[in-house]
Structure 1
Amino acid sequence: MSEETSPPLLIAIDVSDPALADRLALLLGGVAGLRLAAPGEAANIALVSRGQPAGERSEIELTPRERDVLALMAEGASNKAIARQLGISVHTAKFHVSSLLDKLDATGRTDAVAHAARRGVIHL
């Protein structure tokens, strides 16, 4: 029996973040049966970064420490665990969590993480 080989599936990537585009190209470049399209080349599939949904476009300004706290919240860390990991007091950890809830317009810790993920503030 002769084995028929199909032409590779041609994929175009249009992502505004160059680092992300490079990561995707690296990951997809080695997949058998796929080939990345050259710029301007017609493709079978296009991966396009469309940004955030219209209702979620507002910029959220988080301090580096708030980002650290948010990352630990996403891992399920308690205020005590956050304080221990970051070398801050539990009171300060609570303050940062409260600030995040306000900035993300969230009703609780899980809601804050979900809002942040939807808005692209963190990547789960």
Structure 2
Amino acid sequence: MIAIDVADAALSERLLASLADVPGLRLARRGEAADVTVVAADATTAADADATLTRREFEVLALMAEGASNKAIARRLGISVHTAKFHVGSLLDKLDATGRTDAVAQAVRQGVIHL
């Protein structure tokens, strides 16, 4: 379950709309407990401009935070395993992480997601 915690109402609505059709993904209602919370990054939370994540990378990161394998990520997002691996690799690079667990930990430390 994913919650969206973004002050900009228009951005929040766009995020909700883009995530609404992801198979197997449930969005939390306001105030409802979530496994992962997506927040808008700003200059104080993002490491640098290169660390800006795409919508798909946020989806992959949320699934990684749930412990999903590349195969599970691919299945849930309707993409190939190769594409899932590409997104995971991109996240590792952007978050300067040494592995999947470190990527999630880095994202939490940078305020990209909240667990």
Whether TM exceeds 0.5 here: the answer is yes
The alpha carbon displacement at 1:109 in A equals 0.1
Q: Aligned match of 2:93 in 85, 102, 108?
A: 102
Report the number of matched residues: 75
Distance 1:83 1:120, change over 3 A: same
Q: Higher Cα Rg: structure 1 or 2?
A: 1
| Structure 1: gaps of 5 or more residues | 1-16, 20-26, 28-50
Identity of aligned residues (%): 75
Change (3 A) 1:89 1:123: same
Looking at both structures, which has the greater relative contact order when contacts are Cα pairs under 8 Å and sequence separation is at least 6?
A: 2
Deviations 1:94-124 (A, max 9, x none): 0000000000000000000000000011110
- TM-score, structure 2 as length reference: 0.59
Q: For the structure 1 residues 88 and 119, does the alpha-carbon distance in structure 2 shift closer, same or farther, using more than 3 Å as the test?
A: same
Corresponding residue SS for 1:111? helix
Paired position in structure 1 for 2:26: none
Q: CA deviation at 1:18?
A: 8.3
In the TM superposition, 1:68-79 aligns within 5 A as: 68-79=59-70
Distance 2:90 2:101 in 1: 14
Map 1:1-124 → 2, pairs under 5 A = 17=7, 52=45, 57-59=47-49, 60-124=51-115
**CA RMSD for the aligned pairs?**
1.9
